[in-house]
Amino acid sequence: MKKQLIVLGAMLLLPYLAFADPERVMMDKSESTLGTSAAYNSSPVEATSYKYLVVTVTSDQDSAVSGVKIEQSCDDDCDSAVSPTYHYASDWSYTAGSTDNQYVAELSCKCARVSYTNGIVPQTSFNITSYLKLN
């Protein structure tokens, strides 16, 4: 019985260990579809301990031109301000169904957020995931 419990525990734990990345922390995720030219914005996150922000997008429709953005704020109160000022933005255009769908920016400010603006056709599927990375 003891051996069976150990094997069962290992089987339950293995999927988590196989995909664990100690240098990567989930920042935000959304699967809520967007209408014509609608936007998704993550909340600002304090990012001073991290080196990179990585965004992965899948959608059945194209983004607007430069519709995928990683924005950074160097304001001292960016993590608590109602409307922080974003000083730096890296932007890309997403093409529906593309496998070239991961975007990375090196972080240089206190806070960061991700925004996505949909193109002119409403989505029926959408997934955006953001991670902070140490290295």
pLDDT (tens digit, 9 = 90+) per residue, 73-123? 999 999 888 889 998 999 999 999 999 999 999 999 999 999 999 999 999
Predicted local distance difference test score (pLDDT) of residue 2: 53
Cα–Cα distance measured from residue 108 to residue 79, given in angstroms and rounded to the nearest whole number: 15
pLDDT, position 12: 46
Report pLDDT for 22: 72
Q: Once rounded to an integer, what is the mean pLDDT over residues 56-74? A: 97
Q: In order of start, what are the domains of the chain with their CATH numbers?
A: 23-133 (2.60.120.1300)
Q: What's the pTM value of the predicted model, to 2 decimals?
A: 0.81
